[in-house]
């Protein structure tokens, strides 16, 4: 039996930037609810919302102060219940972003933990004595630059924070921590949430003895601090399997819930998070398209390697953009963004679409005095400024792009008057229209939603593959280059082209020419 998360498409909403309902310049839950019909018209199946829990916002919600509440900036628990009901009424699933590796330093758990060495919650976080000669306990680095250890003068010990010092790491080796975090997940499952995207899952367990990490021989000046060392002992430890299994056991107590793990690891390690006998997370995020060179050969090799690495019965997934990485349209340009949409929505597996990519948002440099991203502020000129991909969603050409009646928390993109949802919804040749067409085809054709995949050998800048299910066979061909490409494909009915040409009455196939930046989908006989 196929689960909804296998055949469906997930849409990520960064709530601060999606839709503001009260004029404070920050998106909120009522704003998301007001825009659900956009998601229905687009054709996605689930919406994943980045953190909305109470937070001091040192890292904009990824520093959680209460795992079972709603931050007042986003609304109330009643607003959340309304959003959940409205989503379900439209046939949409709703996923929350769960942050288990660390809490906020203002979480009551950490306030108790740092109050005294003898406090019962002291061991809920990771405290260590200084090194024998003084200084941090080891050489581990923060993802946001500098040491991952912060000295607490009152107790004479250091606590671990793999991100900001305002984000102390929880001690997942403590059974009480595991129980409390599972209780928080249960709270939301009981409320009707359809699943979780689990933040930095591969970091949740550290080596019990805290040895130094080895140096990275490939580090060069200009790279981030975190890359100075190999995370041999601070990430991806064997005991993480127990954490993942506990989360999956909880999820399996409910019907059709899904767990998605944020895991930046090579394929051989990534696939272990499916767990023994499929008892891990349902979808360990596959981020390779975010960093693979945009060539037919590189992507074909990526598909082959990923499919070969998947354990029996494991379901693949693909991601082209998120709230931490440069947007696809910025990486490959607007013309190739159309080809990228075809790729994402026709590969075997569950696609995740980041809000704004459906209209070709690119992100752009943020004025220095408007930068909010703590990572960019700590490592200016080195770390990617994540603000660029968190700019407010442009809905129309009214003031502030219909996002807010106040001052947006981040600047709007410079092209918002023409690149917005309303303008593209009225244009059958737009990128938004292409996404709608592709998602309609995914719903209509089982071969695209859940079928098998096989690469087709072609030359040049073309990537080609077929998707099959029962008696249905579809062929997808993508020109990732800027020149005409001559290829031989099976003859069939042209279902879609990115060139916005009318679908001809005659079949297309055989010896054909793919124009620059063209992708096509053919239905051929088996």
**How many Å apart are CA 430 and CA 442, to the nearest integer?**
19
* Residue 96 near residue 251 (C-beta atoms within 8 A): no
Is residue 262 flagged as an active site residue? Answer: yes
Q: Cβ atoms within 10 A of the Cβ of 182, count? A: 16
Phi-psi region of 425 (alpha: psi -120 to 50; beta: other; left: phi over 0): alpha
- Name the DSSP class of 169: B
Query: Which residue in the list 79, 262, 357, 373 is annotated as catalytic?
Result: 262
* Residue 157 near residue 125 (C-beta atoms within 8 A): no
- Give the relative orientation of helices 175-191 and 240-251 as an angle to the nearest 10 degrees: 30
**How many Å apart are CA 188 and CA 485, to the nearest integer?**
51
Bridge-based pairing of strands 157-160 and 127-128 is: antiparallel
Q: Cβ atoms within 10 A of the Cβ of 414, count? A: 10
Half-sphere exposure of 60 (CA within 13 A, CB side): 20
- Name the DSSP class of 418: T
* Local structure of 99: helix, strand or coil: coil
Half-sphere exposure of 185 (CA within 13 A, CB side): 29
**How many Å apart are CA 131 and CA 136, to the nearest integer?**
6
**How many Å apart are CA 497 and CA 338, to the nearest integer?**
10
**How many Å apart are CA 514 and CA 517, to the nearest integer?**
8
Which residues on adjacent β-strands are paired with residue 510? 489
* Residue 504 near residue 496 (C-beta atoms within 8 A): no
Is residue 364 flagged as an active site residue? Answer: no
Q: Cβ atoms within 10 A of the Cβ of 133, count? A: 5
Q: Cβ atoms within 10 A of the Cβ of 230, count? A: 15
**How many Å apart are CA 67 and CA 187, to the nearest integer?**
9
Q: And the tokens for 34? A: 């007001």
Query: Which residue in the list 169, 199, 379, 517 is annotated as catalytic?
Result: 199
Which residues on adjacent β-strands are paired with residue 475? 466, 522
Q: Please list the active-site residues.
A: 199, 262
């Amino acid at each position: 039996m196929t689960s909804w998360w296998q055949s469906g498409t997930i849409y990520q909403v960064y709530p601060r930037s999606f839709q503001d309902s009260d004029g404070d310049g920050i998106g909120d839950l009522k704003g998301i609810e007001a825009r659900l019909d956009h998601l229905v018209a687009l054709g996605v199946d689930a919406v994943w919302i980045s953190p909305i829990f109470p937070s001091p916002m040192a890292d904009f919600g990824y520093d959680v102060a209460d795992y079972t509440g709603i931050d007042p900036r986003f609304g109330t628990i009643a607003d959340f219940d309304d959003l959940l009901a409205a989503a379900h009424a439209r046939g949409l699933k709703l996923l929350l972003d769960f942050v288990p590796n660390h809490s906020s330093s203002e979480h009551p758990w950490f306030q108790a933990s740092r109050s005294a060495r003898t406090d019962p919650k002291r061991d809920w976080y990771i405290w260590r004595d200084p090194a024998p000669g003084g200084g941090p306990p080891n050489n581990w680095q923060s993802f946001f630059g500098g040491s991952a250890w912060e000295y607490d003068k009152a107790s004479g010990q250091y606590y671990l924070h793999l991100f900001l010092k305002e984000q102390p790491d929880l001690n997942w080796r403590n059974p009480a921590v595991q129980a409390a975090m599972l209780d928080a997940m249960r709270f939301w499952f009981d409320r009707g949430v359809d699943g979780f995207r689990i933040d930095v899952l591969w970091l949740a367990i550290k080596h019990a003895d805290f040895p130094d990490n080895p140096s990275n021989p490939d580090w060069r000046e200009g790279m981030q601090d975190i890359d100075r060392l190999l995370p041999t002992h601070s990430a991806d430890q064997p005991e993480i399997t127990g954490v993942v299994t506990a989360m999956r056991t909880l999820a399996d107590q409910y019907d059709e819930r899904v767990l998605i793990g944020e895991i930046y690891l090579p394929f051989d390690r990534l696939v272990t998070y499916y767990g023994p006998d499929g008892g891990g997370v349902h979808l360990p995020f596959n981020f390779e398209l975010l960093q693979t060179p945009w060539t037919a050969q590189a992507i074909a090799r990526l598909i082959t390697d990923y499919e070969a690495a998947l354990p029996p019965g494991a379901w693949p997934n693909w991601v082209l953009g998120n709230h931490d990485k440069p947007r696809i349209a910025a990486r490959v340009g607007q013309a190739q963004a159309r080809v990228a949409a075809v790729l994402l929505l026709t590969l075997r597996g569950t696609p995740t679409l980041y809000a704004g990519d459906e209209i070709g948002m690119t992100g752009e440099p943020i004025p220095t005095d408007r930068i909010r991203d703590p990572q960019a502020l700590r490592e200016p000129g080195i770390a990617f400024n994540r603000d660029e991909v968190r700019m407010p969603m442009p809905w129309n050409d009214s003031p502030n792009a219909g996002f807010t009646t106040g001052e947006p928390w981040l600047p709007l993109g410079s092209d918002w008057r023409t690149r917005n949802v309303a303008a593209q919804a009225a244009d059958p040749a737009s990128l938004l229209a292409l996404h709608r067409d592709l998602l309609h085809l995914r719903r209509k054709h089982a071969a695209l939603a859940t079928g098998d995949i096989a690469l087709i050998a072609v030359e040049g800048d073309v990537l080609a593959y077929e998707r099959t299910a029962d008696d249905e066979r579809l062929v997808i061909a993508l020109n990732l280059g800027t020149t005409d490409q001559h290829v031989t494909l099976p003859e069939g009915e042209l279902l879609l082209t990115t060139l916005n040409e009318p679908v001809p009455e005659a079949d297309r196939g055989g010896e054909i020419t793919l124009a620059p930046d063209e992708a096509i989908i053919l239905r051929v006989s088996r």
